[in-house]
Structure 1
């Protein structure tokens, strides 16, 4: 008799469950972020910080090309201490935000690694390269940002993907010229890494403007 009462009680408890429906909840933000690819997260990081942090750093530290060349005549360290940006540690190379204007001597704009060679002093020879992209070499744009610290990221792989995301963000904001630009004047602002005074700057431009 007691067994029958116990069975009935258990059945009464179980019956309401038959009409219940389990509804999955949304993933927490942390889980959603973890489910994203490195590329997506780094692209989102670049987007989030571009206007509020990256562009203000560029505006604050931009130096005229001719002024920088005069400073570099005294050595990279001297110029770096006056105008440069680099991650913590003296072993890291200096990065410079430079603006200027010159004559396009060579251009390859129909490539995914589009670029322009620019004569800055009027001797007819290229002095700098503007990396237009979207494929852009180097990590200058990332490494010039004081708010970006390697230890804030998971590992070297993620950090490398951040550099690529920032380069792609720079490319996306360019007004890329069309047609033949050789012989025309191009004005630019951009960032490059310098390891030696003999290095020809390969600049990642954030602004370019070609005279019509």
Structure 2
């Protein structure tokens, strides 16, 4: 399914089934790329089943402890990119600050233009889960999600929503944009969970 120009085979056990390794960083999304000229107009809302709803500025986000994570990412379209280094805030630190209620079981990530994706709470809280504002030591580019994107490397990369604007904790699992259009509700690349019927 992946039509990129650079492919490499990898036999190290790091690449899930039916994936091709690339050294490029393909750009895939729906809608327009947002460009933020005035970051004072950007915020991140954390709400839903939490004790302490938050409306965070970009500076508020960057005030959380900075975390760095090196991992591989796997796109549902068939490419994998190895050894990415992300800098940002651990998702579990955001959840802890908000005080997630016991009845919460899922997370809905809200991005620009009404785009959403859903995650089980355990996936959001995983040790490798990050809200990233930098990649390989450089601020994210607009095409790759500036100012803030999710990074959930144990799931297919569409779950790592770009241009985040909201994190909603819910009791029930509500399908996001691609999930309503046939993609798998969880998206584990090692289980080849690409589509609803997988």
Q: TM-score range by the shorter chain?
A: under 0.3
Question: Greater helix percent: which structure?
Answer: 1
When normalised by structure 2's length, the TM-score is 0.23
Question: Greater strand percent: which structure?
Answer: 2
The structure with the larger Rg is 1
When normalised by structure 1's length, the TM-score is 0.22
